[in-house]
Chain A
Amino acid sequence: MKESVTTYLEGQIVNEEMEFTLVELCRVSGASQDEVTLWVAEGAFEPQGARPEEWRFSGTALRRVRTAHRLAHDLEINPPGIALVLDLLDEIDSLRAHPRRTRSG
């Protein structure tokens, strides 16, 4: 096992100020353009721009696209199912973050 050490790296935060084109998003996430196009058609992602060549995805889409990609491949979930799962996962996250707010209204 070889070991190599490098110096401190400064990274860039992928946040909402960052934009991906369809090609960039697919390259980074590993999902295919066809898959992402189908997910957009289901409303799971809402890029700016009218046509796929003009689409601009927010940096926050990266995590969701990667989740969608893994779920689609590991569990063979179709695009409507992906859209539903992503919505439910968001809801679970928000319930976890506010376990009390829902009970006390």
Chain B
Amino acid sequence: MKYKDYYATLEVERSATQDEIKRAYRKLARKYHPDVSKQADGEERFKEVGEAYEVLKDPEKRAAYDRMGSEWQNGQEFQPPPNWDEGFEFRGAGSQAGGYAGDEAGYQAGGEANLDDFFEAMFGRTRGAHQRQGAAAAMGGQDHHAKILIDLEEAYHGAQRGITLQMPVVDPQGHVTLESRTLNVTIPKGIRAGQHLRLAGQGSPGIGGGPPGDLYLEIAFREHPRFRVDGRDVSLDLPVAPWEAALGAQITVPTPDGSVEMTVPKGSQGGRRLRLKGKGIPGSQPGDLYVVLNIVLPPADTERAAAAYDVMRQAFNFDPRAHFYG
């Protein structure tokens, strides 16, 4: 088991007041909240910060935690001293059933049970502040949620893939075990980021013959090096040479659906958006693909190239700042 320095996680001194701890937590929670933060490890950090606050906000738990001493380093191999919790009484040490979806999928059923060794060994599974509401996977008929990342190309063509979801299940002896299930899911063509895919009957079973809940998969696109997505429209930056923009050109443009030939009209300025109608995400109203021209200047790194720029300067009576100063 690894020691966790909750004070370091919250970036406070060990002598911090309860108010300072709360302030530090709020600040970091806002920074790393997965709905707000676009940092790749935002969700992980948010959980860590929540776990630290869970302990430090509670004077009883904080005192017990402090009693383990301050000489431990974050991540150091750690065994709690015997009777470390003697004389402390913790409230509400019940097990919370939640869900956790493995792989790249997010949380399921609102709860998150990543069964952290350290926290669990010290404080049992009493999660509050960062425990999402409405966990209770053991309750019947409940809808479940998970987030999955797909490639933009999968939205263009549709796909079939397996996703692995994990969720804690309470067995008849009252033990909590992680049960994982693999679902093979058809990703329908035309699905867009932010939409949910509803899998009927894949939530919790119903109680007393009631209907089972549904599983909702929230779709997000994996970051693409080339394409940006806005709803059903897709855009990409296309590098062009100054003469291609000025004189017009036929250019091969990659799309998520294969390459297409496109005409760059002559006299195009940098930043011009050319629309390829219907080449966005497919559907009954397909999106459009926007090609944004990005004029790239060749470097004047040879005498010949520099001379060419000089010829240009002489050929044009051109003032790019003609309307700049008003």
Residue numbers of A with Cβ under 8 A of B are 1-15, 27-28, 30, 59-60, 62-63, 66-67, 69-71, 73-75, 85, 89, 93-94, 96-101, 103-104
Given contacts A3-B180, A73-B133, A75-B26, contact A12 B230 (CB under 8 A): no
Q: B191 contacts A74, CB within 8 Å? A: no
Can you give 15 A-B contacts (C-beta < 8 A)? Answer: A3-B180, A4-B182, A6-B183, A6-B184, A8-B184, A9-B183, A11-B197, A11-B217, A13-B191, A14-B195, A27-B143, A28-B143, A30-B134, A98-B228, A98-B230
Contact with B180, one of A1, A66, A98, A101 (Cβ below 8 angstroms): A1
Residue numbers of B with Cβ under 8 A of A are 26, 29-30, 33-36, 46, 50, 110, 129-130, 132-134, 143, 145, 160, 177-186, 188, 190-192, 194-200, 202, 214, 216-218, 228-230, 233, 235, 237, 270-271, 273, 292
Q: A8 contacts B292, CB within 8 Å? A: no
Q: A13 contacts B29, CB within 8 Å? A: no
Give me the 4 closest cross-chain CB pairs, A-B, nearest first.
Answer: A97-B230, A104-B271, A30-B134, A11-B197
For B217, the closest partner residue in chain A by CB is: A11
Q: A11 contacts B185, CB within 8 Å? A: yes
Contact with A97, one of B183, B199, B214, B229 (Cβ below 8 angstroms): B229
Q: A1 contacts B177, CB within 8 Å? A: yes
Chain A proximity of B93: nearest CB distance (Å):
22
Residues of the B chain whose Cβ atoms lie less than 8 Å from the Cβ of A75? 26, 29-30, 33
Q: A8 contacts B182, CB within 8 Å? A: no
Q: B196 contacts A62, CB within 8 Å? A: yes
Further 6 A-B residue pairs, CB within 8 A, beyond A8-B184, A11-B197, A13-B196: A1-B179, A2-B177, A7-B184, A14-B195, A14-B216, A98-B235
In the complex, number of A-B residue pairs with CB atoms less than 8 Å apart: 120
Q: A74 contacts B29, CB within 8 Å? A: yes
- Cα–Cα distance between A60 and B194 once the two chains are bound (Å): 8
Residues of the A chain whose Cβ atoms lie less than 8 Å from the Cβ of B184? 5-9
Residue of A12, A59, A94, A96 with highest tally of chain B CB at under 10 A: A12
Contact with A73, one of B34, B46, B132, B180 (Cβ below 8 angstroms): B132
Q: A11 contacts B186, CB within 8 Å? A: yes
Contact with A100, one of B143, B180, B292 (Cβ below 8 angstroms): B292
Q: A11 contacts B230, CB within 8 Å? A: no
Q: B35 contacts A67, CB within 8 Å? A: yes
Chain A proximity of B239: nearest CB distance (Å):
13
Given contacts A1-B178, A8-B160, A11-B188, contact A66 B30 (CB under 8 A): no
Given contacts A30-B133, A94-B230, A96-B228, contact A13 B177 (CB under 8 A): no
For B214, the closest partner residue in chain A by CB is: A28
Contact with A14, one of B33, B130, B180, B196 (Cβ below 8 angstroms): B196
- Cα–Cα distance between A27 and B26 once the two chains are bound (Å): 28
Residue of A14, A67, A85 with highest tally of chain B CB at under 10 A: A14
Chain A proximity of B63: nearest CB distance (Å):
25
Q: B230 contacts A4, CB within 8 Å? A: no
Residues of the B chain whose Cβ atoms lie less than 8 Å from the Cβ of A28? 143, 214, 216
Residues of the B chain whose Cβ atoms lie less than 8 Å from the Cβ of A70? 33-35, 132
For B29, the closest partner residue in chain A by CB is: A75
Chain A proximity of B33: nearest CB distance (Å):
6
- Cα–Cα distance between A75 and B46 once the two chains are bound (Å): 11
Given contacts A1-B180, A73-B133, contact A13 B26 (CB under 8 A): no
